Amino acid sequence: MSKAIAGFSKLAKEQKIEWIAGEYFSNPAEAIELIKKYWNDDAALQKLHDEFIENTITNFYLPLGVAPNFSINGRDYTIPMAVEESSVVAAAAKAAKFWARRGGFKATVINTEKIGQVHFIYKGDTGKLTAFFKNIKDKLISGTHDLTRNMEKRGGGILDIELRDKTALLPGYFQLHATFETVDSMGANFINSCLERFSKILKEEAAKYAVFTDEEKEIQVVMSILSNYVPGCTVRAEVSCPVAQLDEGNGMPPEEFAQKFVTAVQIAEVEPYRAVTHNKGIMNGIDAVVVATGNDFRAVEAGIHAYAAKDGQYTSLSHAKVENGIFTHWIEVPLALGTVGGLTTLHPLVKLCLQMLGNPSAKELMQIVAVAGLAQNFAALRSLTTTGIQQGHMKMHLMNILNQLGANEGEKQQAAKYFETNTVSHAAVADYIKAIRQTTTPA
Domain 114-227: assigned CATH number? 3.30.70.420
Give the pLDDT of residue 443: 46
Q: How far apart are CA 278 and CA 308, in angstroms?
A: 11
296 assigned to active site = yes
DSSP string covering 114-173, please? EEEEEEEE--S-HHHHHHHHHHHHHHHHHTTHHHHHHHHHTT-EEEEEEEEE-TTTSTTE
- The residue from 296, 347, 364, 397 that is catalytic is 296
Residue 44: exposure state from Cβ atoms within 10 A (0-12, 13-18, ≥19): exposed
Do 233 and 112 form a contact (C-beta atoms < 8 A)?
yes
- The residue from 18, 50, 85, 271 that is catalytic is 85
280 assigned to active site = yes
Do 90 and 96 form a contact (C-beta atoms < 8 A)?
no
DSSP string covering 258-314, please? HHHHHHHHHHHHH-HHHHHHHHHHHHHHHHHHHHHTT--HHHHHHHHHHHHTTTSS-
Range 64-110+234-387 classified under CATH 3.90.1330.10: no
Do 239 and 106 form a contact (C-beta atoms < 8 A)?
yes
Give the pLDDT of residue 395: 60
- Domain-by-domain residue ranges, the chain? 8-50, 64-110+234-387, 114-227, 393-438
Q: How far apart are CA 314 and CA 58, in angstroms?
A: 38
* Ramachandran area for residue 288 (φ above 0: left; ψ -120 to 50: alpha; else beta): alpha
351 assigned to active site = no
- The residue from 13, 128, 260, 280 that is catalytic is 280
77-99 core/surface letters (b: 16 or more CB in 10 A; e: else)? bebbbbbeebbbbbbbbbbbebb
220-227, strands of its sheet edge to edge? 157-165, 173-181, 114-121, 220-227
Do 180 and 114 form a contact (C-beta atoms < 8 A)?
yes
Do the bridges between strand 326-334 and strand 234-242 make them parallel or antiparallel, or are there none, so unpaired? antiparallel
pLDDT in 10s for each residue of the chain, 443 residues: 557 899 999 999 999 999 999 999 999 999 999 999 999 999 999 999 999 999 999 999 999 999 999 999 999 999 999 999 989 999 999 999 999 999 999 999 999 999 999 999 999 999 999 999 999 999 999 999 999 999 999 999 999 999 999 999 999 999 999 999 999 999 999 999 999 999 999 999 999 999 999 999 999 999 999 999 999 999 999 999 999 999 876 678 999 999 999 999 999 999 999 999 999 999 999 999 999 999 999 999 999 999 999 999 999 999 999 999 999 999 999 999 999 988 888 999 999 999 999 999 999 999 999 999 999 999 999 999 987 655 555 666 687 788 888 888 888 888 888 887 777 888 888 888 888 888 875 54
Percent composition of the chain: helix, strand, coil (DSSP 3-state, to 5):
50, 20, 30
Q: How far apart are CA 437 and CA 376, in angstroms?
A: 38
Q: How far apart are CA 27 and CA 49, in angstroms?
A: 27
- Reduced to 3 states (helix: H, G, I; strand: E, B; else coil), residue 373 is helix
Identical topology for domains 64-110+234-387 and 114-227: no
Q: Find the distance separating the first CA and the last CA of the chain, reported in whole Å.
A: 47
Q: How far apart are CA 383 and CA 390, in angstroms?
A: 8
